[in-house]
C-alpha cells in the first residue's frame, strides 16, 4: 500500500507541534487566570518600597551601610536587601558595613538596634512605620 | 505615548541600516526587513546612547536623543544610495503575513498579562538588569558605581545592553519607571517571535512557519521567563539573528548577511557573560566554516570593508567594557586550583543530571522531547548545507556551560543549577526551533 502524499515526516512533526501548542495555550490561559485571581485578592507590592523614605534623606551620599541582624543566606532576607538596593540606587548599600556616615538599621530585634545606636553614638534621622531606622554616625 | 517615539526612532534606524547594508537585489521581504530592522535598531540606539557615557562619562539625554535622531538621515541616504530606484524590500506584505502578524500579537498577550502581574520583573531584573539601568540613568558621573565590589551580589562583571535599551527609552521621560522595562521585555518577545516567523517564511516560503513562534509562546514557562525582564531573552534573540544571517548568506551568497550575523554576535557579547561565551563559540565555528569555504574569495572589497567595520563597531562596546571597566568577578572560584573549594566529579554529575531533568521536566510541555523527535525524523536533512553548525554551536555552548558549573565552585551547585540552568536553556529555544523547522526542508 502506498503512503498517502500528505503523510510526510514534516507533517507528522507539525501535527505534534500543533497539538502541543493547543495544549500549551490552554494551560497558559488556565494558569494566567489563576494568577490574576490570586492577584485580585493580594495586590502587588514591591519589597523595596519600604526603603523609599530613606531616598530623600540620603542626599548626595555614595554609600550607606545596611546593618541587619537577619541572615542574608535566607532568600527572603536576600530579596529584601537587593530590593532595598534597587530602590535606593544609585546609592550603594554596603551590607553589614558600619564604616559609613549613614546607616540603615534593619533589625528584627529593635533592642539590639537601640544598643548599637547607643554604642556608636548614632543620631536617628528617620524611622519608618515598618521599624527601619535611618541613622547618622556623628564620629565620621 | 511619548515612549512610542524612541521605538519609532529605533525601528527607522534599524530599517535603514539593513537597507544600507543589503544590496536591493538580495534583500528579504518587507515583514522580515521591518522585524529584523526593529531588533537591530534596538541595539544600535542602545549603543549610540552608550557613547554618552564614553564621551561625557555621564548620561546626557539630549545628546542621546540628538545622536540617535541624527543617525537616521545619514542611514537613509546610505540606504537610498544602495537601493537606487528599486523598492526598499524585495516583496511587500501578503495576506498570510498579515494573518501571521495578528496571530503573533494575540500570542504575545499572555506575555503582557504575566508581565503586568510582576511590573518589577523577576529577581535578576531588580537585582541586576534594572539596577544597572537605574545607575546608568540616575548615577550621573557615578554611573560606574554599578560595578562597585560592594554590589557583588548583582553580577557586577556583566555587560549591559538591556539596561542601555531601557535607558534610551527613559531619556524621553523624567524618571526610571517600570512601564519602560515592562514594555521592553514584551517588545523583545514580540520581535523575537516575528523574526522567527518571517525569517523561517523567508527561507521556507510556508505559512506553517507561524507554528514555530506560536509553539514557543504557548509554553507557560517560556511566557514567565520572557516577561521576567532578563537578558537571557536578548541572548536568544541575537543567536537567532546570527543564525538567520548566516543561513541567508549560505542561500543567497550575499556578504551583507554575513555582516549582519557578525553584528548580531557583537550585540550578543554585550548582553551578559554567557552571551559573550556563546558569541565567541559561534564566531569561532562560523569563522572557521566561512574561512574554509569559497564564498570569501568571491567577496568584493566593499563587502570586506563593511564586514570588518560593522563587526568591529558591534564588538567595540564589549571590548571597551571587558578591557577597561569590567571588575573581577567576585562570584568565581577556580575549583581546579582552589584547595578550599575544589572542583569535583559530583559537580559534573549534578550538572549533567540537572540537564537531563530539565529535558523531561513538565514545565517545558514536552518541548525538548518533541524537538529531539523532530530532529531525528528530519534525518540527514537536519545537517545539510551548513545547518550542522546550529547543533555544533549549541552543543559546544552546553559543554562549556557544564564546564563552568563544574569548575566554578563559588556557588553551592544544586542551588546554582536550580536557579540558572533553565534560563540558559531558554535562551537557546528560538535557535533550536529555527533549526527544527529547517531540518525538514529540501535543499
Which residues, in sequence order, are CB contacts of B317 under 8 Å at separation 6+? Answer: B47, B50, B159, B161, B270
Which residues, in sequence order, are CB contacts of B85 under 8 Å at separation 6+? Answer: none
Rounded CA gap, A6 and A12, in Å? 9
Contacts of B145 in chain A (CB under 8 A): 62, 90, 92
pLDDT of residue B443: 61
Best probe of the B interface among A45, A87, A89, by most B CBs < 10 A, is A89
Contacts of B377 in chain A (CB under 8 A): 9, 12-13
Classify the phi-psi angles of B408: left when phi > 0, otherwise alpha if psi is within -120 to 50, otherwise beta: beta
Q: Give the one of B123, B138, B370 whose C-beta lies nearest to A17's C-beta.
A: B370
At residue A93, φ and ψ (nearest 5 deg) are -90, 125
DSSP B309: H
Residue of B nearest to A25 (CA): B218
Write out the DSSP string of chain A. -PPPTT--HHHHHHHHHHHHHHHHHHHHHHHHHHHHHHHHHS----GGGGGHHHHHHTTT-SEEEEEESS-TTSHHHHHHHHHHHHHHTTSEEEET---SSEEEEE-SSHHHHHHHHHHTTEEEEEE-TTS-EEEEETT-
Q: How many Cβ atoms are within 10 Å of B426's Cβ, its own excluded? A: 24
Is A90 in contact with B143 (Cβ distance < 8 A)?
A: yes
Rounded CA gap, A22 and A3, in Å? 27
Q: Any bridge partners for residue A64, and if so which?
A: A93
Rounded CA gap, B151 and B325, in Å? 15
pLDDT (tens, 9 = 90+) of chain A, 140 residues, equals 677 777 788 899 999 999 999 999 999 999 999 999 999 999 999 989 999 888 877 778 899 999 999 998 898 999 999 999 999 999 999 999 999 999 999 999 889 999 998 888 899 998 888 888 999 998 87
Residue ranges in B205-300 assigned as alpha helix (H) = 211-217, 220-226, 232-252, 255-269, 273-291, 295-298
- Asked whether B326 and B334 are in contact (CB, 8 A), the reply is no
Best probe of the A interface among B106, B374, B434, by most A CBs < 10 A, is B374
Residue of A nearest to B131 (CA): A86
Contacts of A52 in chain B (CB under 8 A): none
State how far residue B222 is from chain A, nearest Cα, in angstroms. 10
A-to-B residue pairs, Cβ atoms closer than 8 angstroms? 116
- What value, to the nearest 5°, has the Cα angle with vertex B115 and ends B113 and B118? 115
Residue of A nearest to B153 (CA): A82
Rounded CA gap, B231 and B181, in Å? 12
Contacts of B379 in chain A (CB under 8 A): 9
Is B219 in contact with A85 (Cβ distance < 8 A)?
A: no
Name the 3-class secondary structure at B334.
Answer: strand
- Asked whether B188 and B173 are in contact (CB, 8 A), the reply is no
State how far residue B400 is from chain A, nearest Cα, in angstroms. 28
Best probe of the A interface among B125, B127, B367, by most A CBs < 10 A, is B127
Tell me how far CA of residue B186 lies from CA of A58, B196, B358, in angstroms: 34, 15, 25
Q: Any bridge partners for residue A122, and if so which?
A: A137
pLDDT of residue B293: 82
Rounded CA gap, B248 and B27, in Å? 10
At residue A122, φ and ψ (nearest 5 deg) are -90, 145
Residues of chain B with pLDDT under 70: 90, 443
Helix (H) or strand (E) holding B430: helix B413-438
Is B378 in contact with A86 (Cβ distance < 8 A)?
A: no
What is the Cα B191 distance to its own chain's centre? 11
Grid cell digits, residue B179: 512601564
Best probe of the A interface among B115, B118, B210, B219, by most A CBs < 10 A, is B219
Contacts of A16 in chain B (CB under 8 A): 370, 373-374
Is A90 in contact with B139 (Cβ distance < 8 A)?
A: yes
pLDDT of residue B157: 93
Rounded CA gap, A4 and B185, in Å? 44
- Asked whether A51 and A132 are in contact (CB, 8 A), the reply is yes
Q: How many Cβ atoms are within 10 Å of B100's Cβ, its own excluded? A: 23
Is A90 in contact with B379 (Cβ distance < 8 A)?
A: no
Best probe of the B interface among A7, A11, A15, A17, by most B CBs < 10 A, is A17
Is A90 in contact with B140 (Cβ distance < 8 A)?
A: yes
- Of the candidates B258, B252, B216, B257, the one whose C-alpha atom is nearest the C-alpha of residue B233 is B216
Contacts of B373 in chain A (CB under 8 A): 13, 16
pLDDT of residue B261: 96
State how far residue B23 is from chain A, nearest Cα, in angstroms. 33
Q: Give the one of A16, A32, A89 whose C-beta lies nearest to B114's C-beta.
A: A32
Beta strands A122-127 and A133-137, pairing class: antiparallel
- Asked whether A27 and B365 are in contact (CB, 8 A), the reply is yes
Is A17 in contact with B219 (Cβ distance < 8 A)?
A: no
The domain segmentation of chain A, as residue ranges, is 1-44, 47-137
Widest Cα–Cα separation across chain B: 69
Rounded CA gap, B288 and B292, in Å? 6
Q: How many Cβ atoms are within 10 Å of B320's Cβ, its own excluded? A: 16
Amino acid at each position: 500500500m502506498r503512503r498517502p502524499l500528505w503523510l510526510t515526516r514534516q507533517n507528522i512533526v507539525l501535527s505534534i507541534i500543533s497539538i502541543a501548542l493547543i495544549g500549551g495555550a490552554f494551560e497558559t490561559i488556565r494558569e494566567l487566570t489563576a494568577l490574576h485571581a490570586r492577584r485580585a485578592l493580594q495586590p502587588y507590592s514591591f519589597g523595596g518600597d519600604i526603603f523609599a523614605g530613606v531616598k530623600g534623606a540620603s542626599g548626595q551620599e555614595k554609600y550607606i551601610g545596611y546593618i541587619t541582624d537577619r541572615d542574608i543566606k535566607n532568600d527572603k532576607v536576600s530579596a529584601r536587601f537587593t530590593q532595598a538596593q534597587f530602590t535606593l540606587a544609585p546609592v550603594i548599600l554596603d551590607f553589614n558595613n558600619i564604616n559609613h556616615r549613614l546607616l540603615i538599621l534593619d533589625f528584627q530585634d529593635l533592642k539590639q538596634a537601640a544598643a548599637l545606636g547607643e554604642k556608636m553614638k548614632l543620631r536617628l534621622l528617620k524611622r519608618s512605620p515598618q521599624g527601619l531606622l535611618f541613622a547618622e554616625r556623628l564620629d565620621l | 505615548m511619548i515612549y512610542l517615539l524612541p521605538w519609532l526612532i529605533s525601528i527607522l534606524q534599524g530599517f535603514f541600516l539593513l537597507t544600507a547594508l543589503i544590496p536591493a537585489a538580495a534583500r528579504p521581504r518587507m515583514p522580515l526587513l521591518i522585524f529584523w530592522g526593529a531588533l537591530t535598531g534596538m541595539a544600535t540606539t542602545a549603543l549610540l546612547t552608550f557613547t554618552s557615557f564614553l564621551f561625557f562619562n555621564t548620561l546626557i539625554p539630549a545628546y542621546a536623543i540628538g545622536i540617535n535622531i541624527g543617525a537616521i538621515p545619514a542611514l537613509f541616504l546610505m540606504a537610498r544610495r544602495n537601493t537606487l530606484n528599486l523598492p526598499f524590500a524585495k516583496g511587500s506584505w501578503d495576506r498570510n503575513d498579515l494573518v501571521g502578524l495578528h496571530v503573533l500579537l494575540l500570542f504575545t498577550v499572555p506575555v503582557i498579562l504575566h508581565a503586568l502581574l510582576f511590573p518589577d520583573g523577576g529577581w535578576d531584573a531588580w537585582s541586576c538588569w534594572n539596577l544597572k539601568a537605574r545607575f546608568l540613568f540616575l548615577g550621573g558621573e557615578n554611573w560606574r558605581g554599578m560595578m562597585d565590589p560592594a554590589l557583588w551580589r548583582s553580577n557586577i562583571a556583566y555587560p549591559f545592553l538591556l539596561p542601555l535599551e531601557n535607558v534610551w527609552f527613559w531619556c524621553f521621560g523624567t524618571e526610571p519607571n517600570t512601564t519602560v522595562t515592562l514594555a521592553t521585555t514584551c517588545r523583545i518577545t514580540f520581535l523575537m517571535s516575528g523574526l522567527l516567523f518571517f525569517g523561517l517564511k523567508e527561507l521556507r516560503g510556508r505559512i506553517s512557519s507561524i507554528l514555530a513562534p506560536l509553539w514557543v509562546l504557548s509554553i507557560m514557562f517560556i511566557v514567565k521567563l520572557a516577561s521576567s525582564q532578563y537578558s537571557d531573552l536578548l541572548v536568544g534573540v541575537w543567536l537567532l539573528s546570527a543564525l538567520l544571517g548566516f543561513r541567508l548568506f549560505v542561500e543567497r551568497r550575499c556578504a551583507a548577511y554575513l555582516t549582519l550575523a557578525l553584528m548580531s554576535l557583537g550585540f550578543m557579547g554585550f548582553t551578559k557573560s554567557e552571551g559573550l561565551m556563546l558569541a565567541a563559540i559561534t564566531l569561532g565555528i562560523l569563522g572557521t566554516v566561512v574561512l574554509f569555504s569559497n564564498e570569501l574569495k568571491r567577496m568584493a572589497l566593499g563587502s570586506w570593508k563593511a564586514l570588518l567595520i560593522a563587526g568591529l563597531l558591534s564588538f567595540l562596546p564589549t571590548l571597551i567594557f571587558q578591557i577597561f571597566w569590567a571588575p573581577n568577578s567576585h562570584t568565581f572560584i577556580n575549583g581546579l586550583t582552589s584547595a578550599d573549594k575544589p572542583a569535583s566529579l559530583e559537580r559534573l554529575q549534578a550538572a549533567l543530571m540537572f540537564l537531563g531533568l530539565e529535558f523531561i521536566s513538565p514545565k517545558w510541555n514536552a518541548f525538548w522531547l518533541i524537538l529531539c523527535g523532530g530532529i531525528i525524523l528530519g534525518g540527514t536533512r537536519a545537517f545539510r548545507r551548513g545547518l550542522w553548525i546550529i547543533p555544533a554551536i549549541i552543543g559546544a555552548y552546553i559543554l562549556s556551560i557544564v564546564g563552568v558549573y563544574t569548575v566554578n565552585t563559588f556557588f553551592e551547585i544544586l542551588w546554582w543549577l536550580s536557579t540558572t540552568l533553565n534560563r540558559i536553556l531558554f535562551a537557546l529555544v528560538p535557535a533550536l526551533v529555527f533549526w527544527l523547522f529547517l531540518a525538514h526542508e529540501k535543499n
